[in-house]
Structure formats: C-alpha cells, structure tokens
Structure 1
Amino acid sequence: MKKHIPNTITCANLFSGCIGVVFAFNGELEIAAYFVLLSGIFDFFDGMVARLLHVKSAIGKELDSLADMVSFGFLPGVVMFQLLKMGDFKNEYLPYLGFIITVFSALRLAKFNIDERQTEDFIGLNTPMNTLLIVSLPFIAKDYPAIIGSTWILMALVAITSFLLVSEIKIFSFKLSDLSWTKNKMKFIFLILSMALIVSLKFTAVPFILILYIGLSILHFRIKA
C-alpha cells in the first residue's frame, strides 16, 4: 500500500497543474499561479515521501516528469502565451512563441531523466523555479504594467529562461540529508534572504530570488570544488 503513496502525491501535482492550465487559458492567470504553488508543494513532497518510505521506483520517476511537464512545462507556456497576447506589440502569431518555454521545459525534463550527474543537484534551472518566475509576472504587472506589458521584455524572458533550463549551470537542490548548518549553509542562506525579499518586495521579489538562487548555486559549487 505504501508504495502507492508517492505516486498518488505526484498525481495530485498533475491534477493541480491541469486545473491551472484551464484557468490560464481562461485568462485567470493569478488563480493559475496558485495552482502552480499547489503543484509545487506536491512535487516537493512526493520525492521526500518516496525516500522516507524507501519506495522509490522507475515508474515514480517517469510519472514525476510527466506531471512536471504539465505543471511546470505546459502551464508556464500558457501563461506566457496570454501575457504576450496582452503585450504592447500586437501580432496574431507572436504569442505562440510563449510555448518555447514548454519546449525547453520538455528538453530539460528529458535531460534530467537520463543525466546521472543530477541525482543530488541540478544542471540547468529546474522547471518549478522557472515556472515560479513566469507565474509571478501577472502579479508584478500590477505595480509595473509598462515593464511586464512590454512584448520585447517578455520575449527576452522567454529566451533567457529557455537557455537557463538547458544550460550547464550547476544548481543546488533542496534535498536535505539532515538539518546541519555546515552541510546546508548555502541553502539556509538562500531561504533566509528569500524570505527577507518576499517580506520587503512581495511578488516583485521573485525575479531577484531567481537571480539569488543561481548566484548562490554558482558560489556554492565553486567553494565545493
């Protein structure tokens, strides 16, 4: 019975992602973002539960990637599609370029599944973190409509995030073998600084958190080397 628990949690991730996609296609991007957060919670706990119960399986790994493809691949593509539709440069076909994020997310997930270097940490930006950036944009647009409404800025984000997804940049994961400061110092620093940014900047903090995540990851692996 217990072997099915992690996969059930993964299916909850997929289910939440599907609902988020529907809201995103209906233009309700903020509600879609909340379902992304819900998917992220399920995505975090499915692997943790599998490790705790010692029931990691090949089907669980594949199911996790398929669920992530919807929640953190297709859904952010839909959100970017909608944002480009609302952008200041009107073109009938341009918004479809938002799905470049979906394509590169698929490449990222496929690469992760066969890359033995990524058992503990990531190489390239992980799809949940990338999705968090994309779904934060509608919230940021409330304070900075000219920036998020710029088609060229949105297209630049498509290009940058797509590159980061398949890059060779080593990114630390949040898998914790224990809670010691020595082993997890950089992760704790990241969490503390991220919380401070969220308190002070709210949703606008997300792009800065992403930059912080990448920067601390680079520093972490340079020190480790």
Structure 2
Amino acid sequence: MAIKNHLPNALTCLNLLCGCVALTLILGFDAGLATFSQQPAFLRWHPMVNAAFLIGIAAVADFFDGLVARALHVSSPIGKDLDSLADMVSFGVVPGAVLFKLLQYILPQTQLPNSLAYLAFTVSIFSALRLAKFNNDTRQSDSFIGVPTPANTMLIVSLPVILAHDKFGLSGLILNPWVLLGLTFLMSGLLVAELPLFALKFKNFKWQDNSLRFVFLLLSLLLLVLLQAAAVPLIILLYVVLSVVRRPAKA
C-alpha cells in the first residue's frame, strides 16, 4: 500500500502521542503552581506549559490529517474513527486534567471541599458527547454546531501559559476557584450547544467566499502580537462572537 495512504493516520497518531505525553506531564506534576512566577522568563518551562505546547502540536496535526486525507483522496471510516479517538485524549481528557490540576492546587487554600476538583472532568464528558455528536451530525460538514473540542482545549491549556508569563496580572483571576468552575460549566455547555460556528476550511482564497475567516485570522494575529498567550481566551471568544453576529459563510 502506498505511503500516502498512511500519512493522514500518521498525523492522527502524532495528535494522540502529543496528547498522551501532555497528560503525563499534567497529572505527574505535584509542585505548587506558584513556581510559575518564581523563575526568570526564559526558564519558565513548567511541565504544564510544556503540555500546552504539545497540545498546540496536536491541534496542528489534527487540522492537517483531514486536509491531507482529502487532498490525497484517501479518506476512510477507520481514519474518521481514529481521529475521534485521538481527539478524545488530546482535546477531551487533557483539558479536564488541566482544570483538575489547577483546582487541586487552589481549593486547599479556600474553605471549599477539595473534591470539587473532580468537577473539572465535566469538560471531558461533554467533549466525548461533542465528538459523538459531530460524527453523526450531517449539518457539520462545512461548519460546526457547538464549540469544537480543539478550540475549547486551546483556551484551557492557555491558562498555565498565561500564569507562567503573566504580564497583565491575571493570576488572581485564573486561580479563583469560582472562575475555574464557572469556566468548566460554561465551556461544557458550549461544546454541545446548538450554536452554529464557522469552520476554518478554505476551498478557495477569494475574499467574498472567506471574508469572515480572513477577518478572524487577522484579528487573531493582532491579538497574539499584542497580548501573546493572554490573547488565546479572547480569540476563542472572538470566534464565538463573530459566528453569532454573522452566520457561517458558505464556501
């Protein structure tokens, strides 16, 4: 069998590998999260920050596996199932683990029960529901219904990166248990909400067919330049707002 037939699945497996390694870094880290701000900026390679970068690689692999499969005309039901299984680890279990670890750190400093940290895995449960829904919803071929799991995960894994390079004094907000629990339930709901969102799928590069995508990408780039890691939650918010304000463009 030609090598090209295996290339999309190899990218999917790279996604899965990155998710597995990220998960070991997140759950295997026991030191206090305060160590984020106690090192020089160039040394802040915290395990959870490393995990976030691995998830970034997983997201890139996830984007290109489908693109490559379509370009090479080697799409298959096995590839689709493998993609969902990999996504469940990288974009389902990992975000739950990040929220769990953050809550596990902050809850002992409050009067709230430590067991509330396990509510973080609500995100993982709803990610599974989101992926199952996506696989069986014919409306989601050119757009999405509900926030995609990679977008949700990029928002959540950006939190440790923001903590590591907190130039805007956001640590107190991020490490507030009510904020973390609120984010858990908000994003869980948005994963399965009947909310039409555009997809970053370009069938051509004409402005009239992709104006919404181009505007989103340009604004996202501007936010990243200005705010760096702190821009990620705003980019996800921008994605939702632009989708709500203007229905998904038909490409």
Q: Which TM-score bucket, shorter chain as reference? A: over 0.9
Range with greater deviation from structure 2 (55-64 or 80-89): 80-89
Range with greater deviation from structure 2 (21-30 or 161-170): 21-30
Partner residue in 2 for 1:11: 13
Partner residue in 1 for 2:131: 109
Partner residue in 2 for 1:53: 72
Partner residue in 2 for 1:131: 153
SS, match of residue 246 in structure 2? helix
1:17-54 Cα deviation digits (max 9, x unpaired)? 10010111123211110110010010011000001001
Q: How many residues align?
A: 224
Asked if structure 1 preserves the Cα contact closer than 8 Å seen for 2:147 and 2:197, the reply is: yes
Gaps of 5+ in 1: none
SS, match of residue 24 in structure 1? helix
Residues 129-208 of structure 1: matches in 2 within 5 Å? 129-141=151-163, 142=166, 143-208=169-234
The Cα of 1:92 is off from its aligned counterpart by 2.7
Range with greater deviation from structure 2 (84-93 or 183-192): 84-93
Q: Which amino acid aligns with 1:53?
A: L
1:189-219 Cα deviation digits (max 9, x unpaired)? 0000011111111111111111110111122
Q: CA RMSD in A?
A: 1.3
SS, match of residue 175 in structure 1? coil
Residues 80-119 of structure 1: matches in 2 within 5 Å? 80-87=99-106, 88-89=109-110, 91-119=113-141
Partner residue in 1 for 2:142: 120
Partner residue in 1 for 2:54: 35
Counterpart CA distance in 2 for 1:222 and 1:35 is 30
The Cα of 1:223 is off from its aligned counterpart by 7.7
Range with greater deviation from structure 2 (88-97 or 103-112): 88-97
Q: Which amino acid aligns with 1:180?
A: K
Counterpart CA distance in 1 for 2:144 and 2:177 is 30
Partner residue in 2 for 1:73: 92
Counterpart CA distance in 2 for 1:121 and 1:56 is 19
1:92-133 Cα deviation digits (max 9, x unpaired)? 311111111000000000000000000111000000000001
Counterpart CA distance in 2 for 1:24 and 1:125 is 23
Counterpart CA distance in 2 for 1:115 and 1:121 is 11
Query: TM-score of the superposition, structure 2-length normalised?
Result: 0.86
Partner residue in 1 for 2:34: none
Counterpart CA distance in 2 for 1:20 and 1:62 is 22
> Larger Cα Rg: Structure 1 or Structure 2?
2
After TM superposition, the runs of 4+ consecutive aligned structure 1 residues lying more than 4 A away are: none
Range with greater deviation from structure 2 (3-12 or 63-72): 3-12
The Cα of 1:91 is off from its aligned counterpart by 2.8
Asked if structure 1 preserves the Cα contact closer than 8 Å seen for 2:69 and 2:75, the reply is: yes
